[in-house]
Amino acid sequence: MKVVIPVAGVGARLRPHTYALPKVLLNVAGKPILAHILDELINYGISDATIITGYMGDLIEDFITQKYKNLKVDFIEQKEMLGLGHAIWTGIDTYKKNEPLLITLGDTIFDVDLKQIFNSNTSSIGVKWVDDPQRFGVVIMDEENKNTVKRFVEKPETLISNLAIVGLYYIHNPNLLMYALNKLINNDIRTKNEYQLTDALQIMIDEGEVFKTFPVEGWYDCGKHETILSTNQHLLEKYPAQNDIPGSVIIPPVYISEDATIKNSIIGPYTSVAGGTIIKESIIKNSIISYKAIVKKSLLTDSIIGNEAEVYGKLNKMNIGNSSTLELE
């Protein structure tokens, strides 16, 4: 099976961090978002991927080729941001007509057992009940066959379904998906001025494809500052207890890299500290401290400190990007 991961977005809602890094390489719970996704898929035995790149795609390609040497990867550039359907279409030449596809978004981490889905002979869509479905694509179920999708609708303006599509798609019939994507592009079929994957899936239904759904309760969005911190919390709760650090207080759950330096500080709860980081005489909770950052004599909460950023002084909440220096007296 091949997995398709679109990672072309600019991550505007995560600035200033995405001025220097694509959002899928931002650190959460000890490693980049994309690493959480790839590690989980590799655990399922997936060894073939198509990565749809765009913004800072060279950094993504370098990361994957250096860290995942046993993963066969086709890197395809999406030169224009024309929607998720267009992103999947750009990689169409790398798909096999008779081999199932798994499509998963590059900025969302899932906690779901996919074994049963992979063993089925039916296309399936991951869904979750949400109170405000207007921000998402949704599914409308067939009234006669309760577990069969009747329609896909992208970001409905009125309440027609509370079942949001979470960005996890198992395509049993990729040949029909390829037909549907080509029909979208060749006939310039757009919704909200973009080529939507939901429209391609609807074409598949109209051509006779059956789509089932499966629930995804562990759905962790990494698209905004507050959601990436929330995702950091959920992931850290799965980590084993951190070893004590002499001279400092560690309040779990936390992740602290073995090559981070912590002195005379209180770390946690819900804090991840990446490799090469130096923290001295500080109190940090519910925060992400990224690679080679320096924090001294600071009080931080609900904060994200970028790679190689430096923070000195007394603060309460901070969102500082890569290679920045902030000093307060």
Domain of 267, CATH number, reads 2.160.10.10
Inter-residue contact 247 to 263 (CB < 8 Å):
yes
Domain boundary among 230, 261, 284: 230
Across the range 159-169, mean pLDDT stands at: 86
Length of the chain equals 329
Q: What is the four-CA torsion angle of 137, 141, 142, 146, rounded to 10 degrees?
A: 160
CATH number at 32 reads 3.90.550.10
Domain assignment present for residue 300? The answer is yes
In the prediction, which pLDDT does 320 show? Answer: 53
- Claim to verify: residue 259 and residue 120 sit in the same structural domain: no
Residue 110 has pLDDT above 80, yes or no: yes
Q: Number of structural domains, the chain?
A: 2
Q: Are 209 and 319 within one domain?
A: no
Bond into 174 cis (ω within 30): no
Give the DSSP H or E segment for 287: strand 287-289
The CB density around residue 240, as the number of other CB atoms within 10 Å, is 8
Lowest mean pLDDT across 119-133, 176-190, 255-269, 281-295: 119-133
Instruction: Write the CB contacts of 246 (distance below 8 Å, at least 6 apart in sequence).
Output: none
- Average of per-residue pLDDT values in the chain: 87
Candidates 37, 36, 32, 57; CA nearest to 49 is: 37
CB 50 within 8 A of CB 3: yes
Q: Specify the range with the lowest mean pLDDT, choosing from 36-45, 134-143, 160-169, 196-205.
A: 134-143
pLDDT mean over 201-214: 92
Which residue, of 201, 230, 259, is where some domain finishes?
230
For 89, the enclosing helix (H) or strand (E) is: helix 84-90
User: Would the pLDDT of 210 be above 60?
Assistant: yes
In a domain? residue 188: yes
- Among 195, 230, 265, identify where a domain stops: 230
CA dihedral 50, 56, 62, 68 (to 10 degrees): -40
pLDDT, tens digit (0-9, with 9 covering 90-100), for 221-237: 777 788 889 889 988 98
Q: Which domain holds residue 320?
A: 243-327
Are both 111 and 88 inside the same structural domain? yes
Q: Residue 39's beta-bridge partner residues?
A: none
Write down the pTM of the prediction.
0.86
Report whether pLDDT(318) > 60.
no
Q: Are residues 217 and 312 in the same domain?
A: no
- 149: its two tokens: 């999708």
Which of 80-84, 111-115, 119-123, 179-183 shows the highest mean pLDDT?
179-183
Alpha helices in 209-327, H assignment, sequence order: 225-236
pLDDT at 319: 58
**Rounded average pLDDT over 261-277:** 93
- What is the rounded average pLDDT of the residues 312-318? 66
236 lies in some domain: no
